[in-house]
Structure 1
């Protein structure tokens, strides 16, 4: 058996996975794929998928419809199990490979900016956290993370993702756009890190400055003017102007102020500052 795919999904149920699976596979049962798409890699990354006949058919059909390229698929059989055993590729237990990645800016903050600037993990806040890849990744690297979102289902996914990575996070269901200060009960300087990805609500800016401690970090990555040429968002209130964050946080130590581009061509801010 030759495995070419770097990302492998075991689409059988979790109990069967624990009894024996391909080394380096992620356990995502076919019936749970729709709720766990945030655990998959980018659609541009080819996938290998295996399972019993029913789960394999269901998973391959679903993934293909969602734009994934299933480059390899295998039917789980006793012969395949023995082949994996002979090749030293058979594993048992609950460990499921992590296929998802945080935003590249968050990953580079952890691997490059934190060591370079002597940043020690403390309390962190992810605003508009969605399914939680960024905040779980930060929690995996020592930050005591809280994630805010107004969608309960998203926060459930955050907790599931954290559990899969054996870390603990706090979730907070909150509508940030009521006009009221959502951080009124939070002490000044409570957070050593605030990160925001693909979300822009300018009235939050003054409150962010209050809740980040002196020397704390703001990471901001969201859509910039020009993104409307490629799709959403098109509303100007959701699009940053060039230099807007640098002007808004002019009193901070700006560590990075750049523009990155998503795979579809949309420009996004790559902004890190130390207050």
Structure 2
């Protein structure tokens, strides 16, 4: 396999990484790996692991247990550093390669829908943001993002991810399923963008309409009926029906309404719509 197609993970201490590393490597010290798995690529992408001493087999074993193929596990030595310098594959400093990717629909929104529909970055809200990859990616492209999640650890990881990419995001711990107004801190029509990924709580639909400003964008990606054949979720309350989003948001300008398939076979919605002035 061509080495260029592999992701490089440097599991040494950050100070050592800054002193020098393989070009385009990602710095994740071994002891931080369990909490930073969201910074790695898909498990289908092979990894090259660099580490010192006992950390090398430990890091390799841990990544293998998580489903990764460790194509090479390389002990960091002075001769290795010299060979990298000689080959022009040497970098120093704190810059760490980004190995993670946002959801394909989010990348498509930035590269295709924003220029095609003249969408300018503004305030954005990520509902159920988790570890924040989509939210941070949007912040990297000019959006002023706020992320909501119920799990404090997920919000901590999102803030860490934002810091690693030198962007700022706001995170809020909220329970959106209390039956009360879940968005009391926000004004009607406040957001130019709302994103929801892998989360479905139908009572929130009216609030999404109210929070979007005229011309604002809603991106909704979640599991469709049929996903239960391949794994979770199996509860029908968490599965979209065909055409459901188009019906709920019928008074918007629907820019995309299709179904995509994850690597494991589960169907997910790929839905983007734009609020119009008379929807409020």
Cα distance, 1:269 vs. partner? 0.1
When normalised by structure 2's length, the TM-score is: 0.97
1:155-234 matches, cutoff 5 A: 155-234=155-234
Which residue matches 2:278? Answer: none
1:132-171 matches, cutoff 5 A: 132-171=132-171
Deviations 1:88-113 (A, max 9, x none): 11110000000000000001000100
Q: Is the 8 A contact 1:5 1:72 kept in 2?
A: no
Which residue matches 1:78? Answer: 78
Within 1, Cα distance between the matches of 2:47 and 2:264?
20
**Runs of 4+ deviating beyond 6 Å:** none
Within 2, Cα distance between the matches of 1:254 and 1:187?
24
Q: Is the 8 A contact 1:10 1:17 kept in 2?
A: yes
Deviations 1:154-192 (A, max 9, x none): 100010000000000000000000001111231111000
Look up the SS of the partner of 1:12 in the other structure.
coil
Within 2, Cα distance between the matches of 1:4 and 1:249?
44
Which residue matches 1:266? Answer: 266
Gaps of 5+ in 2: 276-280
Q: Is the 8 A contact 1:252 1:274 kept in 2?
A: yes
Aligned length, in residue pairs? 274
Cα distance, 1:234 vs. partner? 0.1
Cα distance, 1:57 vs. partner? 1.2
Within 2, Cα distance between the matches of 1:3 and 1:197?
33
Within 1, Cα distance between the matches of 2:273 and 2:3?
43
Which residue matches 1:105? Answer: 105
Within 2, Cα distance between the matches of 1:168 and 1:153?
18
Within 1, Cα distance between the matches of 2:273 and 2:206?
15
Within 2, Cα distance between the matches of 1:263 and 1:76?
34
Deviations 1:232-265 (A, max 9, x none): 0000000000000000000000000000000000
Gaps of 5+ in 1: none
Cα distance, 1:4 vs. partner? 4.7
Which residue matches 2:243? Answer: 243
Deviations 1:127-157 (A, max 9, x none): 0000000000000000000000011111000
Cα distance, 1:5 vs. partner? 4.6
When normalised by structure 1's length, the TM-score is: 0.98
Question: Is the counterpart of residue 89 in structure 1 residue 81 in structure 2?
Answer: no
More displaced 10-residue stretch of structure 1: 89-98 or 5-14: 5-14
Look up the SS of the partner of 2:193 in the other structure.
strand
Look up the SS of the partner of 1:81 in the other structure.
helix
Q: Is the 8 A contact 1:5 1:48 kept in 2?
A: no
Q: Is the 8 A contact 1:5 1:47 kept in 2?
A: no
Q: Is the 8 A contact 1:44 1:68 kept in 2?
A: yes
Cα distance, 1:3 vs. partner? 3.7
